Amino acid sequence: MIVDYVVWIILLPLISFTIQIFFGKRLPRQGDWLPTSVMFVDLLLALIVAGKVFSAYDPDFRIARSFEWVVLGTTTIKFGLLIDNLTAVMLFIVTLVSSLVHLFSIGYMHGDPRYSRYFAYLSLFSFSMLGLVSVDNFLGIYMFWELVGVSSFLLIGFWFEKHSASNAAKKAFLVNRVGDVGMFIGILLIFAITHTFNFDEVFGKIASGEFAGALLTAAGILIFCGAVGKSAQFPLHVWLPDAMEGPTPVSALIHAATMVAAGVYLVGRTFVLYTETALLIIAGIGTITAFIAATIAVVQMDIKKVLAYSTISQLGYMIAALGVGGYNAGLFHLMTHAFFKALLFLGAGSVIHAMHHEQDMRQMGGLRHKLPITFVTFLIATMAISGVPGLSGFFSKDAILAAALGKAMETGTLYHYLIFATLIFTAGLTAFYMFRALFLTFYGTPRNQEKYDHAHESPSTMTIPLIALALFTVIGGYGSWFEELIRKPSLAMFSTGAAQEAAHAAAEGAAHGAHTIAMVLSILFAFAGIFIAALYYYWNKYSAEAVSEKFAALYRFLWNKWYFDELYQATAVRGTLLLSRAMGWFDLKVIDGIVNGTARMTTLLSFGSGTTDNRVVDGLVNWVARIVGWFGATLREIQTGKVQAYILMALGAFILLYVIQLAMV
């Protein structure tokens, strides 16, 4: 029953994609209504699924259905769906944000020459993303993983005439591929050991101890590589800021709310795969990412770039949360972040739309009078991401910090304390840069009067999504259902025999002891961040330029995004290109050179033997002939025809022979 609903949730966007890509242009309104209404139907279905799933109110709720996809000898590869509370939540998040983004896009993309194609791509993405969160096996998740990647490629490069857009699309796909290959090798390893792709079967082998030790750690880290790529974690985070080349609603849907969160979902979905060692790495990567991205966001001037780095930073938070065992906290933040970050991006889109595709905050200012709805909703989202108490972001961020502190108190290691300290400091940075962006955009005096004068509030197809998302941003953190339903999976769930409690199943409870400290600190840091932002950008007590001049070196370092792009360009990109050119040269000159050389040698040799044949062999023949001829000519003189001469010669010969004979005796 539930599975049938999910099948339709996944298939409907695929159907609308197929219709839209082939016939979209010929449909009335270029077909925009078709994918959009399909997504709203999907949202409805997702709500029904969520209702049915949650009505059981069982954290271990789990239904699966699969069919045999490929049978080869003893190997059977099954493909199917797995629906549990997490999937139900993800289906809801994806369909909600996707349907609102569809609606928003009708206004935002109005008049674009490839308007119908845009909606086709959105459908393709929705299909892939919904499949990704519902599929029940590693191979399947990898397939949808790549498909969301290609939808992302198509949408980032949507305005492909711009060189920067096609570059960004290519970069996104390739950087992701690097992570994906790690994930693919992880899948190879898992399959070689367990002979199955099915999540539950793999986890069962872990529970029974058949799959353990260093190989399990390696498999976990390799699978995590996929998450590093897709969720833009250090060191593969460089593609996401460039991905802002895509239309802004796309950034909201794919590069903020859903696809980039797929990495977090992956780690959550396969959580029992990660050993303690793997989790240490995951926590470290997440924390580094959260910090680096936040520092870069502080100096950005492009409103979308601020949000992009903010997204990377928040994804780092989620990954770090999972790494410290805060399973529920990380996934909770995934959900609340989807609401407020989609809202921030759509808000930014509304601003950009109003400013005629101006993204530079130095050209904005004072827009709150012109765009009241956009402003209020943007403010709500900014407060949520900054961790202002009462809003959804506060609850989830607080849960993460509590989990990090709890883990630190539990293990007592410097490593985990450092993680907590970095995360809490980053929370302060987040509040600072988000309010900085808010003040620069909506407060103060207009810095570009002409653009300001032309600015106007967006049409209702664009403001309704803003309001809807603002609603979820406010209420999304309340209630204990998330905490009660999205429970960290324990190995016991997957073991068929005696229940073996997982080694890393206990941490979440410990976090409660740390809750109060974490909450106080997080509120403190959030308000400190907001206060400092206000000092610089609202009250203008201090000048940001003065600071950037004073710490010029640091400012340059941050402005250049820690020089990651330059580093990769100089090493990986240039290295590969050089190597490929060297190989091309080697192939042409050396390998083919040998072939051609052999051919030339053969012709040379044949020429040589031809010459020898002409001069030596044939020469010898001719020479013999000539000798014979000469003898003939010479001896002809003897043939005089006179009998006397012949008798004389015969006599002479006789005497000669006689003398010889005498001499021999």
- Tell me which residues touch another protein (CB under 8 A): 21, 69-75, 139, 142-144, 146-147, 150, 153, 157, 160-161, 163, 165-167, 169-170, 173-174, 177-178, 180-181, 184-185, 188-189, 191-192, 195, 576-577, 579-581, 583-585, 587, 591-592, 594-595, 599
Query: Rounded to 5 degrees, what angle do the CA atoms 571, 576, 577 make?
Result: 105
For the CB of residue 300, give the shortest distance to another protein in the complex, in Å. Answer: 26
Nearer to another protein, 186 or 365 (CB): 186
Nearer to another protein, 540 or 580 (CB): 580
Q: CA-to-CA distance for 71 and 193, rounded, in angstroms?
A: 18
Long-range contacts at 27-31 (CB < 8 A, ≥ 24 apart): 27/116, 30/115, 30/116, 30/119, 31/116, 31/119
Query: Rounded to 5 degrees, what angle do the CA atoms 129, 134, 137 make?
Result: 110
Q: CA-to-CA distance for 268 and 319, rounded, in angstroms?
A: 9
**Distance from chain centroid for Cα 446:** 38
For the CB of residue 379, give the shortest distance to another protein in the complex, in Å. Answer: 38
Q: CA-to-CA distance for 80 and 65, rounded, in angstroms?
A: 5
**Distance from chain centroid for Cα 441:** 30
Paired tokens of 206: 């872990």
Nearer to another protein, 180 or 398 (CB): 180
For the CB of residue 315, give the shortest distance to another protein in the complex, in Å. Answer: 23
Paired tokens of 352: 């950009």
Compute the radius of gyration of the chain from its Cα atoms: 38
CB contact at 8 A, 384 and 390? no
Nearer to another protein, 357 or 642 (CB): 357
Nearer to another protein, 185 or 376 (CB): 185
Nearer to another protein, 244 or 526 (CB): 244
Q: Is 426 exposed, middle or buried (0-12, 13-18, 19+ CB in 10 A)?
A: buried
Nearer to another protein, 17 or 537 (CB): 17
Nearer to another protein, 143 or 212 (CB): 143
For the CB of residue 142, give the shortest distance to another protein in the complex, in Å. Answer: 7
- CA dist 140 → 191, 199, 528 (Å): 13, 10, 45
For the CB of residue 149, give the shortest distance to another protein in the complex, in Å. Answer: 9
For the CB of residue 571, give the shortest distance to another protein in the complex, in Å. Answer: 15
Q: In this structure, what DSSP letter does residue 227 have?
A: H
Supply φ then ψ for residue 365, to 5 degrees.
Answer: 110, 135
**Distance from chain centroid for Cα 215:** 24
Nearer to another protein, 56 or 572 (CB): 572
What single-letter amino acid sits at 16? S
Task: Transcribe 80-92 into DSSP letters.
Answer: EEEEEHHHHHHHH
For the CB of residue 592, give the shortest distance to another protein in the complex, in Å. Answer: 4
For the CB of residue 147, give the shortest distance to another protein in the complex, in Å. Answer: 6
Question: Residues 571-601, buried b or exposed e (16+ Cβ, 10 A)?
Answer: eeeeeeeeeeeeeeeeeeeeeeeeeeeeeee
Supply φ then ψ for residue 70, to 5 degrees.
Answer: -135, 130
CB contact at 8 A, 236 and 179? yes
For the CB of residue 217, give the shortest distance to another protein in the complex, in Å. Answer: 16
| Cis? peptide before 235, omega within 30° of 0 | yes
Helices (H), 538-617: 544-550, 552-559, 564-568, 574-585, 592-612
Nearer to another protein, 243 or 385 (CB): 243
Nearer to another protein, 113 or 412 (CB): 113
CB contact at 8 A, 451 and 548? no
For the CB of residue 585, give the shortest distance to another protein in the complex, in Å. Answer: 8
Residue 357 backbone zone (phi > 0: left; psi -120 to 50: alpha; other: beta): left
For the CB of residue 584, give the shortest distance to another protein in the complex, in Å. Answer: 3
Nearer to another protein, 148 or 320 (CB): 148
For the CB of residue 256, give the shortest distance to another protein in the complex, in Å. Answer: 24
For the CB of residue 16, give the shortest distance to another protein in the complex, in Å. Answer: 17
Nearer to another protein, 52 or 170 (CB): 170
CB contact at 8 A, 228 and 181? no
For the CB of residue 118, give the shortest distance to another protein in the complex, in Å. Answer: 13
Nearer to another protein, 15 or 178 (CB): 178
Nearer to another protein, 269 or 370 (CB): 269
Q: CA-to-CA distance for 344 and 305, rounded, in angstroms?
A: 12
Q: CA-to-CA distance for 189 and 304, rounded, in angstroms?
A: 39
Q: At 68, is the secondary structure helix, strand, or coil? A: strand
Q: CA-to-CA distance for 201 and 494, rounded, in angstroms?
A: 8
